[in-house]
């Protein structure tokens, strides 16, 4: 079982993932440049290799045979999970001083589709729609575990994104701690609401639409823009126009529009920038029962052109070498 | 001039560095793997090429001719600074809503030595000693600017560290904002002091020494260990045994010991792990006049074996795949 440990100096939690632990000498630098290319016959996410993953939680498939072929979206436990459902969220002291707890939580992999090389921007519309509906379905299951305090749905695409597998897949990690970043995000939203009586995300969307300089695209339900304080070049937010704290309350119709929007903006990035490595992260309240006037779910896309260096690691301040006004104009064209 | 912009949703500042800005289409992915190797004749940090950098602030050299050869440590402004001394720390509103300010601060490069390929672990002892003394000298100059609220001294070593230049160099960035990370670090130190009447770093050092499992080395003035909640494999802290909030109050004798300690522990990492890419960051109060019972300066070394992925970007929780008890034992041998 993995474990959370708390840094006494910052009270931030980190995860020691012993399931995927390497021995110290395994970190010796090889100086050979890695890549993600792998023959499909040895890819655990390709059809025919279903036995290489743990048994599935769910799948969209033709026929009834679980863990066989015929699926087009498949959800499985991560084989090397950072967190597992066993254990207790009790904090306990190690040797009177340091605090730790069981690595309790969830870590699931959503295999986006059967094709080894077809990422979301190149998928059929119906397939993208069903993928985002699966995000919602798994969220609805995971939120029922009362020990879960945060559910993060995300994607790593390409080597620079921290991905270790080429076959398109998404991940869900559900944790039993709320990290400082997220606590601060919720706190600031509440503080803004307290001061203005409005949701800060609603206000941002209204300002961005009025201004227009940083808008990439817009439809009846979503606004896509490069935020005023973009942390990295081409950072892109997709924000629903209607106020809603929890992503999983999305309507079937809006979920389809969300899929088309995500696909369309990623396709623009793909075409304009030659398939850049990127991460996306869905930020949402942890449950459909958490009604909130101040928080507003959204999806952040972070292309990975640069590597965080000592200053960013030490201060947490990002240095961005592009103007969001210029990158948004470039993507609009 | 670069500018700070504030994210309304988190109140975190980011830096838009227009001095080093690239046009949007420049981000198009080339798919050729970069490396840092550069012939020495075109390296701006090599002797003979002094004219390729802005005029120096200071140098340790034979002879009196500034900006000529004969130096063994040289400090120059960053040619593409993230921050510049001009401007005002006033926050101003952009179009009634977004907040930004001038990119006021400092960004200096310390060229560690004349040799293009000789990093600190392979330097002579006297050279390492003088390099750390230069850190202190520049800190003493920069802290005099009242607009400066944070001084970060750091090093990027190798491609994975975010470095763009092979020639060994250190950097100093001084900012006019205090980022959330640092505010939280100072706040938690004060909170711990309030609760226990002792410095949390002093307590951590005492616990680590008593326990011993995570200690890498120790001498009369410093303890080197892999922290209980290590964020990355082989994360290494160097902490002075005596309580001191500001690094620049270090005595000449202890500064030498600090240089030997940093050199020795980096040499162990270098030998054991085949010269891993890494960053180090010096954390300190911003001025020698900030007496503090609760804060304690320290240096953090972060080797860069892995890439932060979507979960880390979204939550701020690091997933570490190594046990600090095992990595410390490995380095002790």
Cα–Cα distance measured from residue A214 to residue B24, given in angstroms and rounded to the nearest whole number: 13
pLDDT category, A96, cuts 50, 70, 90?
confident
Residues in A closer than 8 angstroms to B18, CB to CB, are 323
Q: Is the pLDDT of residue B33 over 60?
A: no
Report the DSSP pairing between strands B13-16 and B3-6: antiparallel
The proportion of chain B whose per-residue pLDDT surpasses 70, expressed as a percent, equals 96
pLDDT category, A31, cuts 50, 70, 90?
low
Cα–Cα distance measured from residue B245 to residue B143, given in angstroms and rounded to the nearest whole number: 14
Given B180, B214, B236, the domain boundary residue is B180
Instruction: Give the ipTM of the model, two decimals please.
Output: 0.93
What's the confidence (pLDDT) of residue A229?
Answer: 95
B208: alpha, beta or left? (left if phi > 0; alpha if psi -120 to 50)? alpha
Residues 6+ apart with CB under 8 A from B237: B224, B225, B226, B227, B298, B299, B300, B301
Mean of pLDDT values over A130-157: 97
Q: Is the pLDDT of residue B63 over 90?
A: no
What CA–CA distances, in Å, run from B251 to B132, B154, B248, B254, B321? 12, 20, 8, 5, 38
Mean of pLDDT values over A269-289: 96
Residues in A closer than 8 angstroms to B31, CB to CB, are 274
Q: Is the pLDDT of residue B251 over 60?
A: yes
Do A186 and A304 lie in one domain? The reply is yes
What's the confidence (pLDDT) of residue A208?
Answer: 96
Locate tokens 């006019």: which residue? B176
What's the confidence (pLDDT) of residue B91?
Answer: 86
Q: Is the pLDDT of residue A136 over 60?
A: yes
What's the confidence (pLDDT) of residue A35?
Answer: 59
Cα–Cα distance measured from residue A52 to residue A48, given in angstroms and rounded to the nearest whole number: 9
Residues in A closer than 8 angstroms to B206, CB to CB, are none
Do B154 and B228 lie in one domain? The reply is no
Q: Tell me: the pLDDT tens digits for A192-239?
A: 999 999 999 999 999 999 999 999 999 999 999 999 999 999 999 999
Mean of pLDDT values over B181-188: 94
Q: Is the pLDDT of residue B164 over 90?
A: no
Domain total of chain B: 2
Given A157, A180, A203, the domain boundary residue is A180
Do A209 and A241 lie in one domain? The reply is yes
Q: Is the pLDDT of residue B142 over 90?
A: yes
Nearest to B321 among A20, A33, A229 (CB): A20
Interchain proximity B180–A182, CB inside 8 Å = no
Mean of pLDDT values over A28-57: 81
**pTM of the entire predicted model:** 0.94
Residues in B closer than 8 angstroms to A230, CB to CB, are 14, 16
CATH number of domain containing A48? 3.30.428.10
What's the confidence (pLDDT) of residue A11?
Answer: 87
Helix (H, G, I), strand (E, B) or coil at B93: strand
What's the confidence (pLDDT) of residue A53?
Answer: 96
Do A47 and A132 lie in one domain? The reply is yes
What residue in B sits closest to A204 (Cα-Cα)? Answer: B8
What's the confidence (pLDDT) of residue B29?
Answer: 84
pLDDT category, B96, cuts 50, 70, 90?
confident
Mean of pLDDT values over B137-141: 98
Interchain proximity A181–B307, CB inside 8 Å = no
Residues 6+ apart with CB under 8 A from A188: A200, B9, B10, B11
Interchain proximity A317–B15, CB inside 8 Å = yes
Do A62 and A191 lie in one domain? The reply is no
Do B193 and B167 lie in one domain? The reply is no
Cα–Cα distance measured from residue A216 to residue B271, given in angstroms and rounded to the nearest whole number: 49
Q: Are B282 and B262 in contact (CB under 8 A)?
A: no
Q: Is the pLDDT of residue B169 over 80?
A: yes
Interchain proximity B319–A82, CB inside 8 Å = yes
What's the confidence (pLDDT) of residue B89?
Answer: 86
What's the confidence (pLDDT) of residue A47?
Answer: 94
Q: Tell me: the pLDDT tens digits for B201-216?
A: 999 999 999 999 999 9
What's the confidence (pLDDT) of residue B31?
Answer: 64
pLDDT category, B22, cuts 50, 70, 90?
confident
Nearest to A188 among B11, B179, B279 (CB): B11
Mean of pLDDT values over A36-42: 69
- A220: domain range? 182-332
What residue in B sits closest to A163 (Cα-Cα)? Answer: B309
The proportion of chain B whose per-residue pLDDT surpasses 90, expressed as a percent, equals 81
Residues 6+ apart with CB under 8 A from B212: none
Residues in A closer than 8 angstroms to B312, CB to CB, are 162
Do B149 and B186 lie in one domain? The reply is no
Q: Are B137 and B56 in contact (CB under 8 A)?
A: no
Do B117 and B147 lie in one domain? The reply is yes
Q: Is the pLDDT of residue A311 over 80?
A: yes
Given B180, B202, B217, the domain boundary residue is B180
Do B125 and B165 lie in one domain? The reply is yes
- At A168, list the tokens: 């398109």
Do A82 and A190 lie in one domain? The reply is no
What's the confidence (pLDDT) of residue A38?
Answer: 63
Do A175 and A199 lie in one domain? The reply is no
Cα–Cα distance measured from residue A46 to residue A316, given in angstroms and rounded to the nearest whole number: 38
Do A150 and A229 lie in one domain? The reply is no
Cα–Cα distance measured from residue A247 to residue B60, given in angstroms and rounded to the nearest whole number: 59
Q: Is the pLDDT of residue B312 over 70?
A: yes
Q: What is the mean pLDDT of chain B?
A: 93
Helix (H, G, I), strand (E, B) or coil at B132: helix
Count of other CB atoms within 10 angstroms of residue B307:
19
Q: Which of B135, B110, B134, B114 is nearest to B123 (CA)?
A: B114
pLDDT category, A95, cuts 50, 70, 90?
low
């Amino acid at each position: 079982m993995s474990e959370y440990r708390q840094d006494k100096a910052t009270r931030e939690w980190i995860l020691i993932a012993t399931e995927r632990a390497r021995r110290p000498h395994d970190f010796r630098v090889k100086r050979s440049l890695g890549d993600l290319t792998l023959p499909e016959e040895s890819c655990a996410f390709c059809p025919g290799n279903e036995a290489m993953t743990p048994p599935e939680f769910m799948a969209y498939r033709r026929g009834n045979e679980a863990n066989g072929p015929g699926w087009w979206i498949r959800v499985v436990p991560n084989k090397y999970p950072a967190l597992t459902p066993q254990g207790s969220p009790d904090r306990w002291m190690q040797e009177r001083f340091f605090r730790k707890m069981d690595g309790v939580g969830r870590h699931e992999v959503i295999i986006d589709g059967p094709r080894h090389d077809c990422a979301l921007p190149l998928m059929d519309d119906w397939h993208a729609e069903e993928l985002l509906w699966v995000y919602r379905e798994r969220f609805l299951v995971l939120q029922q575990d009362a020990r879960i305090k945060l559910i993060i749905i995300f994607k790593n695409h390409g080597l620079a994104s921290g991905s270790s597998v080429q076959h398109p897949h998404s991940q869900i990690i559900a944790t039993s701690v709320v990290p400082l970043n997220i606590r601060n995000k919720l706190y600031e939203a509440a503080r803004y609401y307290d001061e203005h009586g409005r949701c800060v995300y609603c206000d941002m969307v209204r300002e961005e639409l009025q201004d227009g300089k940083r808008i990439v695209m817009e439809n009846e339900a979503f606004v896509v823009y490069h935020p005023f304080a973009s942390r990295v070049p081409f950072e892109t937010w997709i924000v629903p126009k209607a106020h809603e704290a929890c992503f999983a309350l999305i309507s079937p119709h809006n979920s389809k529009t969300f899929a088309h929007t995500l696909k369309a903006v990623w396709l623009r990035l793909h075409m304009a920038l030659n398939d850049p490595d990127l991460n996306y992260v869905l930020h949402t309240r942890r449950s459909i029962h958490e009604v909130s006037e101040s928080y507003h779910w959204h999806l952040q896309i972070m292309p990975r052109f640069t590597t965080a260096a000592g200053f960013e690691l030490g201060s947490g301040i990002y240095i961005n070498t592009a103007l969001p006004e210029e990158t948004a104009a470039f993507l609009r064209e």
